[in-house]
Amino acid sequence: MEIKEDFMPSSKNQPGKEFPQVNSQGYARFRVEAPDAESVNVSLGLGGKGGTDLTKNAEGVWTGTTAGPMDEGFHYYHLTIDGGVFNDPGAENYYGSTRWESGIEIPAHDQGFYELKNVPHGNVQQILFPSPSTNTSRTAFVYTPPGYGVEASNRYPVLYLQHGWGEDETAWSNQGHANLIMDNLIADGKVEPFIIVMTYGMTNEVKFGGLRDFKVDAFQAVLVDELVPYVDKNFRTISTRESRAMAGLSMGGMETHAITLNKPDVFSRYALLSGGTYNPEELKNSTKPALIFISAGSKENPDRVINAVNALKDAGYNAVSYVSEGTAHEFQTWRRSLFELAPILFSK
């Protein structure tokens, strides 16, 4: 494919930084100043190809372009300079892989749903809630919809929304734009406003290879016994099972799966985004959920999602599947999943 020379700075660059850049085909181009370095590699490239090696030009500046177009949406990446791992000084940082990584945004054909628009905006507030079980104050972010501060008597349903392994409570706002997705849906009249609560899932306590050993108990105590009561006390929630949902991406989906099955009287609406499935057998002895939503990218395991939802429907559950076309185990899949989930989450 001929590379179009219409490169523009990535929307995830630090203020005023010209690089990295992306073009209309989805190629990414990098530029790093390190005149005395021996080698500079960018971890981002076509899947499994070892990233993109940069080459040094006559001015001592390292440049390079990905070998092909990247998937639409957000990608984490880093530089390897002379054998050490560093971030790209041009890019903003996002917490993933248990470190603050560089981020880049490949323009997507459907990006309007998570763009900052001239519509009423909700707020994202950092709360510090007491956690006796972990003997500290813990952080969560709470999205309150537009007008929350003005309409002093309205009460709202609540979605507890979890990040994936390697990420933290900042992911759904910073990488996912959950707040902008909600603002735009509300402005379009497509969703009744609800509150979203995002906290750290303690997922990074386990090494990625050892997910099977992860015990959900400690996080479940924080979420169900500490955070939910704090939110119900300090925000104008509808504090019923019917109006409380839990969702998570990847390992946050595993947590959602485990906690909703353990605590079916706390949550009534469950969503797994690239994070496993439910089967009718494991649900049959618990209070029936009002909604089960299961999604994945088309480059993941979409058949597994669709088969699971069909089995749930056959068993009489209100189950919905969603497959994000052309995306993998990355945030574009999860942005789209939230966009599909939100309008139906508390609709019946």
211 binds a copy of itself (CB under 8 A): no
CA distance 138 to 134: 9
List the one residue from 8, 24, 55, 116 that touches a copy of itself (CB under 8 A).
Answer: 116
What is the token pair recorded at 310?
């069909």
Query: Of the candidates 2, 48, 112, 118, which one interacts with a copy of itself according to CB under 8 A?
Result: 118
User: Can you tell me the distance from the alpha carbon of 35 to that of 45, in angstroms, rounded to the nearest whole number?
Assistant: 23
Binding to a copy of itself (CB under 8 A) within 35-54 occurs at 35-39
x-or-dash string of contact with a copy of itself, 4-33, rule CB under 8 A: ----------xxx---------------xx
Q: Is 302 in the site for a copy of itself (CB under 8 A)?
A: no
Judged by CB under 8 A, the chain residues 137 through 166 that form the site for a copy of itself are 137, 142, 144, 149-150, 152
347 touches a copy of itself by CB under 8 A = no
Task: Look up residue 346 and give its two tokens.
Answer: 């508390």
From the list 280, 263, 272, the residue with the least C-alpha distance to 228 is 263
Under the criterion CB under 8 A, does residue 224 sit at the interface with a copy of itself?
no
Answer yes or no whether residue 255 interacts with a copy of itself by CB under 8 A.
no
- Token output for 257: 């799966």
Supply the minimum distance, in Å, between the C-beta of residue 80 and a copy of itself.
9
Residue 104 and residue 88: Cα distance in Å, rounded? 10
What mask of x and - would describe binding to a copy of itself in positions 120 to 139, judged by CB under 8 A? -x-xxxxxxxx-----xx--
What is the C-alpha separation between 87 and 81, in angstroms, rounded?
10
Q: Round to whole Å and give the CA distance between 123 and 149.
A: 9
Among 11, 25, 63, 87, binds a copy of itself (CB under 8 A): 87
15, 204, 235: which is closest to 125 by C-alpha? 235
Backbone angles phi, psi at 253, to 5 degrees: -70, -40
Distance CA 194, CA 289 (A): 18
Binding site for a copy of itself (CB under 8 A): 14-16, 32-39, 60, 79, 81-87, 89, 92-93, 98-100, 116, 118, 121, 123-130, 136-137, 142, 144, 149-150, 152, 168, 173, 183, 204, 233-236
